[in-house]
Structure 1
Amino acid sequence: MNNSDPMNWQAFKNTLVENPDKVLQFQYAEDLYVDASYHITEIKQAPIVSVDCGGVMNSWTEVILQLWEPSIAETDRAMKVSKALSIMNLVEKSLPLNPLGIVKIEFGNSRFDTRQMYPSEFISEGDRFTVKLTADYTQCKAITRGGSCGITPAGEECCSPADKMVAPLKQNLVLETIGEQNQSCTPGGGCC
């Protein structure tokens, strides 16, 4: 599987169910894997409610699987997919997880800052099942609607190219005298 859209919790679990006897690995960067002795420390469900820069309310749910590497690797311990599924099922007995919630994997260690990543690809080779992770990203929701942020003049998009955004700002620019040579700071002059 290789998909640019975020995966939902049910699809993630269904993919794991197809590979119960394999060792479950997570690849968080090129040639970097979470140590095989990792623990699944918790599964969080986060209902998100936001208002974007155009004043539009958005809501969605994220299901976040947190991984932790022990400071001393347990060389005889590698998590099988079946063990990960049993942890997920145990969590769901107490906390029913939204099957349509967006899946994120949270991980960090001494060489990699903790962050939330998306499962982006699954690779089944021999006795291993690898989940490749890709970084989370920010986006402007108003740009996909062709909308305005509410801070720009009516009808102007917040995500317009920079040259379109500079014109309204120039109208309100106050020029200040700088230095002893009485030079003015002007847009594009390089002094600001």
Structure 2
Amino acid sequence: MIEYIKGDITDLSPTMAVIDCNGVGYGINISLNSYSDIQNLSSTKLYIYESIREDAYVLYGFSTKRERELFLMLITVPGIGGNTARMILSTLSPSELCSVISNGNEKVLKSVKGIGLKTAQRIIVDLKDKIVTTGIENVDMQSFSTANSQVNEEAVSALTMLGFIPSQSQKVVTAILKEEPNIPVERVIKLALKRL
């Protein structure tokens, strides 16, 4: 399984990136969000999803793990394939998509090319709880250092065990860690308890 491909960008369009990795050019399908993130770079690292079918071997690439995670959630919904998921992620940013799903805004989802009312409703029903429980809606994993994301994870986990809603806990913990990036987990929990 390919986790990511890192190399020089040899060709780039809003839907496709060709990454030269040690002399091999990988054609990778990308969303407009990823295109915006990498368009002014000469080299990049894209997180990969491999779609292996009888008639095709297709690579989808994402500039952030968060976008890939949303893509993986979208393709679990019946009727949503790789290209439709990519279309959704080209129309809405990861933050917008999380917000639309958690608020049940089917109207915005319906505005995506190829998405009808039933599919929009299905996406909301299938993914609303997943987005809240993973905390993906409130945190961009790349904006935290490794230590920071571990503190974040431990604090949210502890607050969830104490009976607080994961999504609310995630918002508060993220805000605290932005204000004070290097504080220990115990302090984060104490400060969060005051705000929740």
- TM-score for both structures, normalised by structure 2: 0.25
Instruction: Say which one has the larger Rg.
Output: 1
The structure with the greater share of residues assigned to strand is 1
The structure with the greater share of residues assigned to helix is 2
Higher relative contact order at CA 8 Å, sep ≥6: structure 1 or structure 2? 1
